Chains A and B, each alone.
Chain A
Amino acid sequence: MIDAQKTIVVTGIGVASPYGAGLSRLRAGLLAGECRLAPAADLYPGFQGMVARVSDLPPVGEGPRYSRSYSRTDRLAMAASRDAVTEFSIPSSLLRPSGIVMASTVAGLTEIDPGIAQGPAAWYRDGGLARAATYPVSRVAASVGEHLGVNGPACAVSVACASGAMAIALGANLLLDGAAPMILAGGSDALCPFTLSGFNSLQALDPELCRPFDQERKGLNLGEGAAVLVLETLAHANERGARVLAVLRGWAMTNDASHPTAPQKDGLGLAYCIGRAMEMAECGVDEIGYVNAHGTGTPLNDIAETHAYERAFEGRRRPIPVSSTKSYFGHCLGAAGALEAAITIVAIEAGALFPTLRLTTPIESERLELLHGPVRHEELPVAMSVSAGFGGSNAALVFGRLQR
């Protein structure tokens, strides 16, 4: 028997992805197997590798105030949240008391350049003052609130590449606490030289198109985007007659406590996280029909993640289908977990298991079915989205169809 007060459901999804604005464009791009990655040097001369950019970011306001007051990360977040409330007809009266949990790692770094290092005061006087005001990560959540007139609890989450999934988990907790009738939870991050340079310095970037879970993988490609999920309790959704897109059946967060940047080789912390999420979702290892993996394409991540799935899904009757949709438009950092949660819900809704692109020689594992080739269509009642990040953080979200 479902407790509608304690069941968290998704009733809207807004997206700003390299496919363009809107969930329908994300869905179409994935189903078509369209890769949006392009040479980084086209956008950032001097940088190597591949990136995916949101090329037609819709305007969120007119005039210089918008370009000065909001970073590109803010504007991606505002576009995705506007898309969610418009496409899913969320009334403004309901938005006002709602809450916001937005993830970001980059935030306003997009607006700051190395000139600040030579003399901060001069840089501020030369027009940097307003740009620097977009630096705090809390600004991303505040921007969404200002844009939509949301007055409830607002916070930003910054836990490296697990941020987006954790924002959704914290949003769900806030609903269980009765902190707001509805929570807009998601993540946003924009491309910028700071992160490109940082990952380049770590030699984590693949100079070519990334190949997650392939034995020949060399590293990741960066992308940008934002996704926002409208979360509420099932009781609240029923009361207002909202269509339920998915149930957030379980969520969990753990830390490897193993290394500042590298994942735990045996995947122990991530496996524990997946197990906790399945426990909360009250589903066994055979019920999960698909895992949208973190799958960055770095040599260390993908093998550790493989070990985590082998451990977490031990005893399963058939191999667990796993793919990385970062092969379509790169790693969107703080937005990745939210975008991949949206993709997992699309997979359930469309009954579509998205393959990893360019996966020709998968990592060998008897317990994993690393999806490649064409999109596989099958009934998918329950699926999982998994995220991990620098600092050893892990997050797992279990989504399912609403069973009446």
Chain B
Amino acid sequence: MMSLPMISGIGSVTPYGPLAGLLSGDALQPNAITAWETSAPRRAFVVEPFRAASIVPGVKTRRLDRLSAWALVASSLALKDASIDLTQVDRSRVAVFFATGLGCVELTEAFYRSASANGWAGTDPITFPETLTNSPASHVALFHDLRGPNLTISSKCFAAESALLQAASLLRHGQAELAIVLAGDTLTRAVYEWYETAGLLSSACFSDDSSLEGFVPSEGMVAMVLEPAGRQAARAYAALGAGRWASGGDARSCAEGLLGETRPDFIFCAGNGAPCDSAPELCLAHSLGGDAATVYPAQPVAAGMGDAGGLLHLLLALSKRPGAGEALLLGTSAHCGYASLRLEIF
């Protein structure tokens, strides 16, 4: 039986900015959207523009969409945070596992714009390959010369949790010796207007409403380095234990089955959409944890990232520096099923 894989490095490009390691943990307010013209002020949790090469020397992102650029930056920061010298690693055994809800939607929109302007016969050959959902993961492999399994997945509500579990599975089955797990999405005009037309947005998107009730869209990318416990890691944030995710069924019995006789010290809620006091994962967390566990509610900045928000939920919870102990990352939704992951926090 292999020891539990460890999260040994974290990098992120989020509304907090591009950072290695933990975040400040301060709650954010949504900021005004300026990336496209809006008919009236609109707000969201957006990543402020930055120059990728100033963070990762030598990285070229001119022809990439932001998602791919963020993947390069976040993965580089995570590897640096884990103090991994890739020249000392068998790169054919390093996996990249990317979770996303919408993929490379920026350049997909650009491709439609070129079709709209020039007809289907006049589309841009450079843009087309970059519209593929696996482009960010491919660029990570190309930039770092990582030749192991390179996967891009999506799972309704719980793509990030699913990626974390499946990357751990690659390590467990000897299909990789190290994995970089990424999860992220970008906000674009077409995505934002879809949410707005569907009537999903919080009032905080339209006004300076500090209550943040409801859904405030978010964007960003989080990368975590996952490696077997055996390697002498410079640091370990957490060990990843057993986990389950499912598209339906009973979240409580799944979580109880995972926990067995033990009770977690911490429960990290990973809700998505609109965190609130009656969110299903929060109610379940209080019920499972009782008085013994500290419950960390879902943060709007991570919940707004939707399917790919799980890693940001985990990062925000770790950034609260809960102390050592057993934790449960818990997400559930009436429409999407649930995800439960056990973690040992160091």
Contacts and interface: CB of A to CB of B under 8 A. Distances in A.
Nearest to A333: B132
A152 B153 CA distance: 16
B134 A393 contact: yes
Interface residues of A, number: 72
Contacts of B248: 145, 150-151
A153 B120 contact: no
A158 B247 contact: no
Contact of A260 (B111, B115, B129): B129
B156 A254 contact: no
Contact of A177 (B133, B141, B154, B169): B169
Interface in A81-136: 97, 100, 105, 109, 112-118, 120-121, 124-125, 129, 132, 135-136
Interface string B150-161: 111111100100
Contact of B194 (A132, A255, A390): A132
B39 to A, nearest CB: 9
A194 B115 CA distance: 9
A391 B134 contact: yes
Contact of B246 (A137, A152, A253): A152
Interface in A150-183: 150-160, 166, 170, 173-174, 176-177, 179
A269 interface: yes
B133 A158 contact: yes
Given A136-B102, A257-B146, A174 B247 contact: no
A330 interface: no
- Residue among B150, B169, B173, B197 with the most chain A CB within 10 A? B150
Interface in B207-224: none
A159 B98 CA distance: 10
Nearest to B102: A136
B123 A198 contact: yes
Contacts of B169: 173-174, 176-177
Nearest to A259: B142
B131 interface: yes
A390 B197 CA distance: 34
Given A136-B102, A136-B154, A258-B142, A202 B246 contact: no
A158 B132 contact: yes
A155 B120 contact: no
6 residue pairs, one from A and one from B, having the closest CB atoms: A391-B138, A151-B248, A198-B128, A158-B133, A114-B116, A255-B150
A160 B121 contact: no
A160 B172 contact: no
Given A158-B133, A391-B132, A135 B197 contact: no
7 contacts: A139-B156, A153-B244, A159-B150, A159-B152, A198-B123, A253-B149, A269-B147
B115 A153 contact: no
Query: Interface extent on B, as a size class?
Result: 35 or more
Contact of A135 (B102, B147, B172, B245): B102
A201 interface: yes
B172 to A, nearest CB: 7
Interface of B: 91-92, 96, 101-103, 108-109, 111-113, 115-116, 119-121, 123-125, 128-135, 137-139, 141-142, 144-156, 159, 162, 166, 169-170, 172-173, 175, 189-190, 193-194, 196-198, 244-249, 307, 337
A166 B144 CA distance: 22
Given A46-B120, A135-B102, A156 B109 contact: no
A197 interface: yes
Contacts of A254: 92, 147-150
A389 interface: yes
Interface in A236-289: 252-261, 269, 272
Contacts of B149: 253-255
Quick one: which of B119, B159, B248 has the most chain A CB within 10 A?
Answer: B248
Interface in A182-219: 193-194, 196-203
A52 interface: no
B102 A47 contact: no
Nearest to A103: B153
B247 A100 contact: yes
A390 B129 contact: yes
B115 A136 contact: no
A197 B117 CA distance: 14
A244 B162 CA distance: 29
Contact of B121 (A46, A114, A141, A389): A46
Contacts of B196: 121
B128 A138 contact: no
A138 B159 contact: yes
Given A160-B132, A391-B132, A391-B135, A255 B96 contact: yes
A392 interface: yes
A32 B191 CA distance: 47
A201 B107 CA distance: 15
A153 B247 contact: yes
Contact of A160 (B134, B146, B245): B134
A142 interface: yes
Contacts of B197: 121, 124-125, 129
B337 A159 contact: no
A118 B116 contact: yes
Interface string A386-404: 0001111100000000000
A17 B101 CA distance: 28
A196 B111 CA distance: 12
Contacts of B91: 257
B193 to A, nearest CB: 4
Among A115, A136, A142, A255, chain B packs the most CB atoms within 10 A around the CB of A255
A195 to B, nearest CB: 9
Nearest to B154: A138
Contacts of A118: 116
B203 to A, nearest CB: 18
B63 to A, nearest CB: 9
A198 B152 contact: no
A129 B129 contact: no
Contacts of A154: 155-156, 246-247, 337
A331 B39 CA distance: 43
Nearest to B130: A260
A391 B128 CA distance: 12
Given A129-B198, A173-B169, A392-B138, A156 B154 contact: yes
Nearest to A154: B247
Nearest to A389: B134
Contact of B141 (A113, A170, A252, A391): A391
Contacts of A100: 247
Contacts of B137: 159, 391
Given A135-B102, A159-B150, A151 B129 contact: no
A64 B150 CA distance: 39
